[in-house]
Structure 1
Amino acid sequence: MEKRTALPLQRAQEVSRPERSDAARNRESLLETARRIIAAEGVDALTMDRLAADSGLGKGTVFRRFESKAGLFTALLDSTEKEFQRRYIFGPPPLGPGSPPVERLVAYGRERIRVFDTQSDLLREADAPAAAFDPAASGAGTASEAHIAMLLRQSGADLDVPVTAFMLLAALRAVMVLPRDARQRIGVARLADGWESLVRSLLP
């Protein structure tokens, strides 16, 4: 008879529990307040004290949700990426469904560059290198590559779709690792215009 080894039971405190609804609401409220502060005054204006004051929640609640300023900015990075994915999959055109594939691809790259620019500032405040948060090299990158490939196929262009999608994503990824001073010197608008020129040269 096969001998079976009993597995140790996981201690109660080690079991992962879903976030309580009130905790989830507090977290989203804090992130939304943080986004408003950044949009109005830039990332340098966002501190744990400022977030607590503007949100109307206690400072203890802020620290329980994020533990530190670095934790707050890491959460903002994650929420920024998820919101971008939601908009290009389900949002209005031209980024979302409803526009011709070429226009969607142009809009995708333009918005990806803008989001990357925002994320680079968040990375700086999270005290993390770009390699620590690289959507193009993660699960988000897989989704992005699949999205680009889908639009290339829908365009009907005579291209090697997997290779072209990979190369286009690599071009966008380069913006993420571009040094801050170089990105400021070139300008986000010029980078976005360069993306549009690249796409339209491939898909006339």
Structure 2
Amino acid sequence: MPEHRSRKDAARNREAVLAAADALFARSESPEDVTMADVATAAGVGKGTLFRAFGDRAGLLRALYGARLEPIREAVETGRPPLGPGTPPQERALALLDALLCFKLDNRRLALALEGTGSGSPYRAEHYEQWHGLLRAVLEQIPGLADSGFTAHALLAATRADLVEHLAGQERQPRERMRAQLANFATRAILASGHQGI
């Protein structure tokens, strides 16, 4: 029984930490302003609990990012339109990119914090590999498309958190304009890559 209670406590603490970190990142001017001590205090847990559960700040960021992205991943994997297999692959690719852009617009500080952790190449990060793999798999279904791996990298570069922050923050571009620009760019890139493959 005590072991069951400790697992429940750990799960409750994890949820409290993720909720606290989420709120702190949403309110912060700069992602660097949010410390592990801030998160522990806001969640009502000790720093030791935080470090045991997540390892370090990067581990906490990955967990929070993963929890926030889960609905998109679920939509892709369960086949919900327009992300699921029932939709033509080009439309699926555009829907996936749009979902990622909207996610990063809605979670600008969190996305910046995770992508700017300085822990090596962003292309080796687990979340990046997952989204690259998903997008590449969709692009591979488009007849005649050349080099789906590179095309997926190039398209995902247009959703990088630092670019999203620059466009939305510094240039103050409206959300709908950014979505339309991404769809236009991605459509042209996919068509150009398809022509090269013919």
TM-score range, shorter chain: 0.5 to 0.7
Distance 1:182 1:166, change over 3 A: closer
Matched, 1:158 2:145: yes
Structure 1 counterpart of 2:125, from 110, 114, 138: 138
Contact 1:136 1:169 in 2 (8 A): no
Using the size of structure 2 for normalisation, the TM-score is 0.62
Contact 1:106 1:196 in 2 (8 A): yes
Alpha-carbon deviation of 1:152? 0.9
Gaps of 5+ in 1: 1-19, 53-58
Contact 1:145 1:166 in 2 (8 A): yes
Contact 1:74 1:123 in 2 (8 A): no
| Superposed counterparts of 1:1-204, under 5 Å | 21-31=7-17, 33-34=19-20, 37=23, 42-44=26-28, 48=39, 51-52=42-43, 59=44, 61=45, 63-66=47-50, 75-84=60-69, 86-87=73-74, 89-91=76-78, 92-122=80-110, 130-132=116-118, 136-173=123-160, 176-178=161-163, 180=165, 182-184=167-169, 185-203=172-190
Alpha-carbon deviation of 1:21? 1.8
Amino acid at match of 1:25: A
Alpha-carbon deviation of 1:104? 1.7
Number of equivalent positions? 169
RMSD: 3.8
SS at match of 1:186: coil
Contact 1:34 1:51 in 2 (8 A): yes
Distance 1:89 1:135, change over 3 A: farther
Alpha-carbon deviation of 1:163? 2.3
Alpha-carbon deviation of 1:193? 1.7
Q: What corresponds to 1:8 in structure 2?
A: none
Distance 1:95 1:182, change over 3 A: same
Q: What corresponds to 1:12 in structure 2?
A: none
SS at match of 2:140: helix
Q: Deviations over 1:95-118 (max 9, x none)?
A: 344322222211211121222334
Q: Distance in 2 between matches of 1:144 and 1:159?
A: 19
Amino acid at match of 1:192: R
The percent of aligned pairs where both chains have the same amino acid is 19
